[in-house]
Every structure is written in C-alpha cells, then in structure tokens.
Structure 1
C-alpha cells in the first residue's frame, strides 16, 4: 500500500479529507463565522484590526471552545478585529499549506507538524504552546499479537508524513532499538489514517488527541504512548508572518482567549468537553469521557519561552537525524513571545 498525498492542498482537497474523517469519527460540515462589528473607536487600537482567519483542526480544544461560545469574536472586536473560522481541517499539514498560499492566518498543531511545514516554507511563527500530553498520543493497535513495539517489525503503520505520526513512530522505534527500515510506513493524512486503521488495511496507526480517544473507545489500545517513547511533541499555535507583522495586538488578544479556555479545560474537563464537543463532527460519549480524562493532565496554553524553544529544537534535530527534513531548524527563527506583542 503505497499512498502519497499531493503537497499543495486546495480547499476542495481539504473537504475531501474531512469526509474521510467523518467516516471514522462522525459526520462533517464546513462552518465559518465572522465577528460582529467592532465597538466604536476600537479600530484605533495600535496593532489591532484585521480579520483573523483560523483553521478548525479536530473537533475539540481551545479554538473550538472560542468559536462555540462566541468569546473570540467579542475579544477581537475590542481591538478592532474580526474572526473567520475557515472550516474543518483534518490536520495541521493542509492548514500550513493554506497559510503558505495566503488563504489562512492561524492554526494549531503539533510542533512536529509545524517543523515539517517550516522546513518547506517558513511562512509562519509559533506564538504559543502546550506541553505535550503524552498519554493522549502514541501507536494504536488492535491485533492482540502486537504486544510490544518490536512486534511492529514487518507490519504496516499509518503515519502522517513529517508530522506527529511519523515523529511518534520513529521515536518508538529508536527507543526500542528497532531498525526503521524493518517497519513499513504508510504515508496517510490523519483522516485517511483513521479509515485505513479502522478497516484493517494497516496494522497500526500513530495518532493523537481526538483520534486516540475515538480509537480507544472502539477497542484499540496504545502499544506505546508518548511518555514511553520520550515524546516532546508539544501542541503549538501558529500565526502567519504577514498577519503577525500587521496586527500584533490582535494576535495577543487571540492568545489571551485560548489560554483562558485551556485553563478551563484543566479546571473543569467535563464542562470544557461539553462546550467543545458540539456540531456535525462529534465524539461519542465514551470517547468524550476519555478526552476529559486527558484534559486533567493537559498543561495550559503558555507563552513561548526558553524551555519550549529547547524542546522544539530537539524535535527539529531528531527529524533531521532521521532524514525526515534536510537539516535542523533554529527555534529562534520561528517563535515569538505573545506577551511582547502590542
């Protein structure tokens, strides 16, 4: 099974991938929203303004909460800005392509996916992050005969290229002394990976977050999670270089909003999931309960600091050592502290 994804992703391609995600996790829809008219005088805020076009990735998380309760539209209006949620993306990679094409301003995704995209075109900066929630990611299997990572030798494992899936698999193989050439990587986007795994076309799937919660709710298990493989795959929030330059105060308002929602996820996980898990694409009750448990240990959204930069550098160097990208990337070139934006 030798499948590849077209590098340049158009909107039609994104919607097609989302349809595949729907077959594994529920039904799908493309829902966009724009903020109300900013209050009088707010457009004069220095560094504010603009219409922030944000990707919805997955079905839950701070961005989904910010959309569902209308708070981001209100917060951005205070600095003279509007928000547009551009629709459902199956993963960060196609969102990064949209940022590269000038069709999108902001998206969330793992640092591994961000590094994979930055290695191709440095068109955005990471302005916030959440420490890796290692219990919510890893290598999923259903076959009872696959008990250890070593049992993946000769097997087919679905991974999204230059992203979380490939990172987790390669980390697991390295940690367990398994030659990567002995395990067949099947390169699939997240939605297609879900379909291939549920249909048995692959033996394992390297996945994360909502995907793991859904698969575990349907009987899959993690043969190795992020903690067991030494993952540093932090969740990151990215903004296009052009929007950051033109509207830094708007980016700061966006950061403040998603940080507040991430704190709510930790303090009251069940309520957070109930707020986020609405719309056409929904986790079932069992998967939602698993997600709520994960939120109990999920760190909040935080500013980029030296600790994050070190972790980002580690992931970039690992990808370079594994020949996934040509060379390591210097985190100083693609990060910004949101607390300094105004």
Structure 2
C-alpha cells in the first residue's frame, strides 16, 4: 500500500515518565470499556487465538483516529469481537512520556512520529511500530510571526522552540541542512509543545517548529509557515506503536486495533468536516478557524496503512539523519522495530 503525503501529528514532549505513569494509573476507561485489567495477563471471555487482553492506549491530543474511536465507542466493540477490552488513559502531552510509560509497563499503545519513535527506541527498545501514515507536508514546519524573517537563513542568531529528539528538532535541523545554515548559529530552545506554543505566542522565541493541530491553531492566529514539510524534505511520518509485551501476548487484538484505526482514517478523508466535529469534543478544543484548517488537511489525507518497504526506508532515513546530527548515538534498523499488522492473528 502506498502511504499518503498527509497526516495529523502528535503533541510534543512536556512531561516526565512519572507524570505519564501517574496519568495512566489514575485514568478511567471509557464508559463502555468495563473494568480494565493488566494488558499482558488478561485474556477476556471468548477470546480468539491471539486475542484477549486489555489494551491501554494513550490519548495524545483531541483529534485523530484514537479520539474518534473513543468518542464513538467503536474500538471497545471491535476488540470485544476478539475477546479484548480497551482502556483509554488520561491525556498524555506527547509521545515521549507515553513511550516512557510503555517502558515502565504502564501503557501498551500510542501514536507518535518517526522522529519521536527513533528518539525513544534509541534509549530503550520496548515497542514495535505497527501502522503509519505519511507526513502532512502542509501541516508541519517552522512557524514565524516576524515579517522580517523571510527565509530560513534569517533564523541565524534567533531562538527556535523545538521538542528534543522529536518532530520539532527534526524539522528545524532538516530546514537548516536544506538551506545550508550551520545549526550552531541557531539557538534551539527545548520545550514541549504546550510550552512552545506559549513561548511563541508571547514572543519569547522567534520561531517554533511545530505540526498538526498546533500549526492549524497558530495559522488561525496569524502565524505563517516559513518552511513546510515539503520544503525541508521531511519524511517524519505519523506512527502507531504497541508494546513488545502486548504484541507477543495478543497479536489478534493488535490487528483489530489496527483495522479500527484504518477505518477511522478512511472516514476522516471521506468526510473531513464530520470527522473533525466528532473528534474535536474534548476539554481543549480547536476554534472554528483552526478546525477548518484541520478538516482541509483531512481532505487530502489517505488512510492509515500497514508497514511496508516504503515506510521502512523512510524510517531508516530519519534514523540515519538523527544519527548524523548527533541526536542519537547510531542509526536504527527499521526491520527490527516494525511489524506488518495485517499478518497478525491466531
């Protein structure tokens, strides 16, 4: 399957593993989930071979297939068919703390980006990537407000907010490399997405490397993309991951989870306004203008897809780039950290 050039990007690093674990252990399941049990040991009544378990899945942001699956109750119903349950955790601010919660055995599944996954896997391999969606070039990049910053070269001597070892740092470094700018001449201000948004809106930084909902919100308030994903050569696809422990114990459940996410991403493409209206219902909501920008992104977006050779190549490219930039010690082997969800089952 050929991946789309479009996707919704996950939030950035703002919390530690302790905060992530606290969110996970105190979170309630959705209204139709029932009592959640330890994912690696629960089997579920009537589980099919390779099914069962209770998958604890991170909520990162308020839009996208996971939010849709929670809001309409469909994931709980789909997993019940293989004898499994779902527990939607409290909101995680980013993939990085979600990955740390997976490392700690407190979480099973989450959405992120290739760059954030590479950063996490380089520290402690504990999960596999089972689904992906190619990055949305027009919904990511370097945001600026100052009319005097007209090119990437104008970032020399400026402060740019980025999340470390994730999408923000990746986009900035790609932009600088593409335009022949020495990274040492641009100050990276390491902030999670929420703090980056605050710093950018208050003028404490000159630019912000951001994506997805953050770009939609910033553009709605008058910011502009100095350079977008296409212009910097981004290959930073959205990814969905599952813990090694859960995957080994419940492969059929992972396949059912994957199929639900594919279906919701198809619905986002077919009816973007309807999908945004269904997803954008949390305590933190996009305003009408930002929601319209997100719907426009969905309109061009193909569904979530299985892991294939194209994705593995792009994973390898991002990993090699981060290694060359000294963000991680060495590049990673894509085959070691990916699985084709369509082949899973009893």
Q: Same fold (TM over 0.5)?
A: yes
Query: What's the CA shift for 1:11?
Result: 2.6
Contact kept? 1:14, 1:89, Cα under 8 Å: no
Residues of 2 paired with 1:232 and 1:171: CA distance? 10
| CA deviation profile, 1:220-248 (whole Å, cap 9, x unmatched) | 11000001000001000000000000000
1:64 aligned partner: 67
The 1:197–1:6 alpha-carbon spacing in structure 2 relative to 1, beyond 3 Å, is closer
Alignment pair present for 1:9 and 2:17: yes
Query: What's the CA shift for 1:326?
Result: 0.3
1:22 aligned partner: none
Alignment pair present for 1:300 and 2:303: yes
Q: What is the number of residues matched between the two proteins?
A: 322
The 1:102–1:195 alpha-carbon spacing in structure 2 relative to 1, beyond 3 Å, is same
Contact kept? 2:20, 2:97, Cα under 8 Å: no
Contact kept? 1:159, 1:207, Cα under 8 Å: yes
Query: What's the CA shift for 1:42?
Result: 5.4
Query: What's the CA shift for 1:178?
Result: 0.4
Which runs of structure 2 are paired with 1:190-339 in the superposition (5 Å)?
A: 190-339=193-342
Query: What's the CA shift for 1:216?
Result: 0.7
Alignment pair present for 1:187 and 2:185: no
Residues of 2 paired with 1:48 and 1:224: CA distance? 45
Contact kept? 2:14, 2:93, Cα under 8 Å: no
| CA deviation profile, 1:234-265 (whole Å, cap 9, x unmatched) | 00000000000000011000000000000111
Residues of 2 paired with 1:239 and 1:317: CA distance? 23
Alignment pair present for 1:174 and 2:177: yes
Structure 1, unmatched stretches of 5+, are: 16-29
The 1:9–1:266 alpha-carbon spacing in structure 2 relative to 1, beyond 3 Å, is same
The 1:290–1:212 alpha-carbon spacing in structure 2 relative to 1, beyond 3 Å, is same
One of 91, 108, 114 as aligned partner of 2:94: 91
Query: TM (normalized to structure 2)?
Result: 0.90
Contact kept? 1:36, 1:77, Cα under 8 Å: no
The 1:31–1:195 alpha-carbon spacing in structure 2 relative to 1, beyond 3 Å, is farther
Query: What's the CA shift for 1:134?
Result: 0.8
**Secondary structure in structure 1 of the residue aligned to 2:150:** coil
Residues of 2 paired with 1:282 and 1:168: CA distance? 25
**Secondary structure in structure 1 of the residue aligned to 2:63:** coil
Contact kept? 1:59, 1:210, Cα under 8 Å: no
2:161 aligned partner: 158
Query: What's the CA shift for 1:10?
Result: 1.4
The 1:304–1:264 alpha-carbon spacing in structure 2 relative to 1, beyond 3 Å, is same
One of 109, 114, 117 as aligned partner of 2:117: 114
Contact kept? 2:28, 2:87, Cα under 8 Å: no
Query: What's the CA shift for 1:12?
Result: 6.6
Query: TM (normalized to structure 1)?
Result: 0.91
One of 33, 53, 58 as aligned partner of 1:35: 33
Instruction: Indicate the RMSD between aligned Cα atoms, in angstroms.
Output: 1.8
Contact kept? 2:21, 2:101, Cα under 8 Å: no
Contact kept? 1:48, 1:81, Cα under 8 Å: yes
Q: Which runs of 4+ in 1 moved over 2 A?
A: 5-8, 11-15, 41-44
